[in-house]
A = this chain, B = another copy of it.
Amino acid sequence: MIKARVVVTLKNGVLDPQGKAIEGALGSLGFSGVGGVRQGKVFDLVIEHDDKAKAEADLKDMCEKLLANTVIENYTIALS
């Protein structure tokens, strides 16, 4: 069994209205000096076999097909 974490974040230059909204909210809560807030997604998955190479390849495929919109998002895969 392999545990995997996929982190999907917006590519640089892509506008992040959610991040901007959070930045504004943090400011109004009194947190000064906080900038560049960007929000992304994280997926924790369990791969039910022990072949790390196959898991990595499958996860890349899952990202390309479902977990990430590769036009505007980057993804990273970490196995543990």
CA distance A25 to B66 in the complex (A): 8
Partner of A31, one of B37, B42, B61: B61
Q: Does A26 contact B (CB under 8 A)?
A: yes
- CB neighbours (8 Å) of A43 from chain B are 19, 22, 37-40
Q: Does A71 contact B (CB under 8 A)?
A: no
Q: Does A17 contact B (CB under 8 A)?
A: no
Mind listing 15 A-B residue pairs with CB under 8 Å? A9-B42, A26-B62, A31-B58, A33-B47, A34-B47, A34-B58, A34-B62, A35-B45, A36-B44, A36-B45, A37-B43, A38-B45, A40-B42, A40-B43, A40-B44
Top 5 A-B residue pairs of the complex, sorted by shortest distance between their CB atoms: A36-B46, A33-B48, A40-B42, A38-B44, A35-B46
